[in-house]
Structures are given as structure tokens and as C-alpha cells.
A = this chain, B = another copy of it.
Amino acid sequence: MLKHGILGLLNYGNMTGYEIMIVFRDSLSYFWQAQTSQIYRELQVLEKNGWIQSNHIEQNSKPDKNVLSITEAGRIELKKWLKEDESKGIMRNHLLMKTFFRGECSIDENIEYFKSIPKNEKVFPDGTNELMKKNLEYQQGIGDPLKALYWKFTVDFGVMYEKMLKEWCENCLHELENIKNAGDKK
């Protein structure tokens, strides 16, 4: 999946491993995190597969760099990946795993727990405005507003997710407070 993410970015234009890392950090990190170490490792694999080419460029006053570009085989692979619908529904939600076992804690502790989630589990730590600004920058780099639309869709998802999470916490809190009050009256 990361392989194809990198491939997709290189399809927009040539980049160094470092620049790929920046794009991940600024624009994709709210739904996919990638460490530099992982990016450089995947780049080796992508090159071995013949999906990308690297071009060593010497620089003065800065370290040398490897500029990566997507190959024709890489474009074919990218299209192939976009067409297939795995639809495996891979989900690994750390938050729910912890929630599942909260019965071990007291109701008061759990009320605090659900109050803290919307604060801690922010999808966009710097807000969506920052992200939209970056989006616009990249859009100008790409030059195709239709492509940027799909970027926006993923941000929309994040916004809706954050809202849903807040609602869920409120619902859970109501139920817990009802139980607490019922217990107090007895």
C-alpha cells in the first residue's frame, strides 16, 4: 500500500525520498504515516521492480540527492492497483481495542476516558486550514484541479470522522452518566 502511495506521488512529478517524506508528513499523515526509514527501503524495492528510476544529482552547498521518477512500468502498476478492489476492510482500531476492555475500570475513570478522546484523538493536529493550504500549494504544482478534488475528498472524510468520533463519545458519556445517576439514587 505504501509502495503504491509513493508511486502515486511520483506520478505527479519527480521527487527525492526526502520530498516524499515531506508530502507524507504535511498531506497524508492524517490517514497514513510513513517513516523516512521505511520510505527509503520501499524506494529500493520500487527500483528493483523497475517501477521507478533514480537520477543522482550532485549539488554544491547541499548534500547530493537522488531524484526519483516513475517509469512506464510504474504507471501501469499504479493503474492496476487503482482498478483492483481488494475491499478487505482492513481495520485495526487501537481506540476500540482499549474501549472494549474498559469494564476493568470504574465508571468515573471511564467518564474521564471518553471526555479525553476528542482532545487526544484529533485527526488533524494542526487543523484543516493548514492542510488545505498545503493542498492548494500542491495543486498549483500539479496544475490539475480535478486531481486535487480527490485530495479534498480525503480531507472531507477526516472532518466527518472527527465529528462522528465526538458524537460517539457524547453518546457513551450519556449512557455512563445515566448509569452513574441511577446508582447514586439507590
Residues of A within 8 A of B (CB): 1, 4-5, 8, 11, 28, 30-33, 78-79, 81-83, 85-94, 96-105, 110, 116, 120-123, 125, 144, 146-151, 153-154, 156-157, 160-161, 164, 167-168, 171-172, 175, 179
Kindly state the separation between the CA atoms of A101 and B175 in the bound complex, as whole angstroms.
41
Supposing A103-B146, A168-B160 touch, asked if A154 and B96 sit within 8 A by C-beta, the answer is yes
Is the contact region of chain A dominated by helix, strand, or loop, or is it mixed? helix
Copies held by the complex? 2
Supposing A85-B120, A99-B154 touch, asked if A91 and B160 sit within 8 A by C-beta, the answer is no
Contacts of A81 in B (CB 8 A): 98
Contacts of A32 in B (CB 8 A): 91-93, 96-97
CB < 8 Å neighbour of A90 from B94, B120, B147: B94
Contacts of A1 in B (CB 8 A): 92, 94, 97
Contacts of A153 in B (CB 8 A): 99, 102, 168, 172, 175
Supposing A102-B150, A103-B150, A149-B103 touch, asked if A157 and B96 sit within 8 A by C-beta, the answer is yes
Contacts of A4 in B (CB 8 A): 97, 101
Supposing A98-B82, A164-B161 touch, asked if A33 and B104 sit within 8 A by C-beta, the answer is no
Kindly state the separation between the CA atoms of A164 and B121 in the bound complex, as whole angstroms.
17
Kindly state the separation between the CA atoms of A103 and B143 in the bound complex, as whole angstroms.
12
Supposing A96-B32, A101-B82, A154-B96 touch, asked if A121 and B89 sit within 8 A by C-beta, the answer is yes
Contacts of A104 in B (CB 8 A): 8, 11, 78-79, 82
Contacts of A87 in B (CB 8 A): 116, 120-121
- Asked if B100 and A28 sit within 8 Å, CB to CB, the answer is yes
